[in-house]
Amino acid sequence: MKDFDVNSQSDSFTYLDKDGTFESGDKGVTGTVHQNNVPSPLSGLPEFSHLGWGHWFTLRDLETATNKFSKDNVIGEGGYGIVYRGKLINGTEVAVKKLLNNLGQAEKEFQVEVEAIGHVRHKNLVRLLGYCIEGTHRLLVYECVNNGNLEQWLHGAMQHHGYLTWEARMKILLGTAKALAYLHEAIEPKVVHRDIKSSNILIDDDFNAKISDFGLAKLLGAGKSHITTRVMGTFGYVAPEYANSGLLNEKSDVYSFGVVLLEAITGRDPVDYGRPAPEVNLVDWLKMMVGSKRAEEVVDPTIETRPSTAALKRALLTTLRCLDPDSDKRPTMSQVVRMLESEEYPIPREGRRRRKNQAGAEETESHNRKSNTDSSDRPILMTKARSDHRTNA
């Protein structure tokens, strides 16, 4: 592990020892571990993985867990597999991804996900609990996150519960930023997700973000980039240099994060052909609105209590920096974390920040702690208009 700025990213971890002991906590800059006794979701299961983490499941185990992969248990589908809700023999609810066996792609995605997140633990990453290798079958078993994903809360099925407040959106995006900072800067080799989008940000019952779906992830050494002739990702979220030349590095994820942040601010899809031509592409529309000095009009109208002017400007400035066409000018994700946590506007650039004296830094940190405390009591959801249904977080 590399040293990592604890002020911008708490090194939260969970792991399962070979004796079945499950530990969870936070590791500070000194390396001290504050251990919590947390029951393992894998306790009582028979086979510990030979890979040194998680569990190996038989195909029969997972058929039993999912009622023979019943259609009633399908909770998601993609180009490379189907995700089922399941329950293990110890009662733990899980999500089981059954990879489609299409010309070796299932094997490739299986290996990528296992290598990318098999050993890493972070509170804002979906936990990979185990796997199944049996014949041509490749299955992955994850913790079950039951509260939908960001796309559903912004545009779809979860809106009947209510609309996300500004505070909830920023909490989800901050958690996402911390997880990406961890993947890019705290582990070696670094992990470039390559498919950051709102539907891949799951939300737990406390409205914490959980990044999921590492099937397109790429592992890169320090300072390395990757050139590919086959661009992978989702239209509307892909960084321009990656789409145009196949150049992939962590700044590609930074761009995609900027699109998701903008999506959360505006409540709009990244690409919407149902809108007038100047508004079809969300990034282009934002730049047009900023250029016309109408930036305050981009806020999602379903947000009943609007953010302060300073909070909105801070979020939009962070967004624009992430969306810079020049990838070298985009911030790192740890810088994005500091931007989102900052109470200052305009946000100081890194050079200016380094020139600040220690007293100023301590004062900013104190303000941040106060801000986090003040916002914790604010409601996560607001009641949907013309509805009597209210959901409390």
What is the predicted pLDDT for the residue at 55?
A: 87
Euclidean distance between CA atoms 76 and 69, whole angstroms: 12
98 is in an annotated binding site: yes
Euclidean distance between CA atoms 361 and 50, whole angstroms: 47
On the question of a common fold for 11-143 and 150-382, the answer reads no
Q: Cis peptide leading into 346, omega within 30 of 0?
A: yes
* pLDDT, tens only, 157-175: 888 888 999 999 999 999 9
Task: Point out the catalytic residue in the list 11, 61, 195, 213.
Answer: 195
Task: Locate the domains of the chain by residue range.
Answer: 11-143, 150-382
What is the predicted pLDDT for the residue at 301?
A: 95
């070796």: which residue's tokens?
A: 104
What is the predicted pLDDT for the residue at 3?
A: 38
What is the predicted pLDDT for the residue at 164?
A: 95
CA distances from 349 to 17, 203, 339 (A): 42, 31, 9
- Side chain identity, residue 125: L
Nearest to 217 by CA among 260, 250, 179, 177: 250
- Contact between 143 and 129 under an 8 Å Cβ cutoff? The reply is yes
Look at the alpha carbons of 353, 358, 363, 367 in this order and tell me if their dihedral is positive or negative.
Answer: positive
CATH number at 11-143: 3.30.200.20
Q: Cis peptide leading into 189, omega within 30 of 0?
A: yes
What is the value of pTM for the model shown? 0.77
* pLDDT, tens only, 335-357: 999 999 987 665 656 545 554 54
Euclidean distance between CA atoms 139 and 320, whole angstroms: 39
Q: Is 195 a catalytic residue?
A: yes
Question: How is domain 150-382 classified at the CATH fold level?
Answer: Transferase(Phosphotransferase); domain 1 (1.10.510)
Residues in contact with 338: Cβ distance below 8 Å, sequence separation at least 6, in sequence order: 7, 8
Cβ density class 117-156: b for 16+ within 10 Å, e for less: bbebbbbbbbbbbbbbeeeeebbbbbbbbebbbbbbbbbe
Low-confidence ranges of the chain (pLDDT < 70): 1-53, 79, 102-105, 229, 344-393
